Amino acid sequence: ETGVTQSPTHLIKTRGQQVTLRCSSQSGHNTVSWYQQALGQGPQFIFQYYREEENGRGNFPPRFSGLQFPNYSSELNVNALELDDSALYLCASSLSGRAFHEQYFGPGTRLTVT
Amino acid sequence: AQTVTQSQPEMSVQEAETVTLSCTYDTSESDYYLFWYKQPPSRQMILVIRQEAYKQQNATENRFSVNFQKAAKSFSLKISDSQLGDAAMYFCAYRRGNDYKLSFGAGTTVTVRA
């Protein structure tokens, strides 16, 4: 059973640029959630995708957008990067969006905006 | 809105001793789940233990156990026989039943002294 993977591991971008982060869900999982974790803080929910549709969204501006593909992998896109977007971005997959299904997290992508 | 509070930024424990991490949460819901996650320096978030609100019995997983006080909205984690590998950031998290997101506390850094 393959776990959740994310790419890239690290990247550095300049303010105003756009970035795409990728997540491959665990085998058999159809739901992917994205979280932003600023340094020294707990993760904050960005949004969730269930069967290719956005299933819920946290308090993030529209320049944070996502996609889920037929194989249930997912992308997080951030436009017009700001310095405060520097963070660890985590994705988590689960069997469904239901609370009793455990979310399995990937190792994260560390984004630095300069 | 649900909030999760971890009042201990750091805790230190001697190897083989016991440490207890505190967590309080605020909710008006009756159907919810509580979790403790471990995040080692490798960054990958790992589920340590979960508690369903409707269950009165406290959850246990090997050396990890919780003290769930529903009326007080308290959910503490006890790590017994601490090992060097337990050193990590620990996050308390809340998820409403049938909701799509996890709400995390700010975390507690656990250091294990040899």
Q: What is the 3-state secondary structure (H, E, C) of B47-112?
A: EEEEEECCCCCCCEECCEEEEEECCCCEEEEEECCCCHHHCEEEEEEEEECCCCCCEECCCEEEEE
**A102/B95 touch (CB, cutoff 8 Å), yes or no:** no
Per-residue DSSP letter, A85: G
Q: What is the pLDDT of residues A47-85, one digit of tens each?
A: 999 889 998 899 999 999 999 999 899 999 999 999 999
Q: What is the pLDDT of residues A24-36, one digit of tens each?
A: 998 888 899 999 9
Amino acid at A84: D
Query: Which residues of A fall within a CB distance of 8 Å from B4?
Result: 42
Give pLDDT, residue B100: 76
**B106/A41 touch (CB, cutoff 8 Å), yes or no:** yes
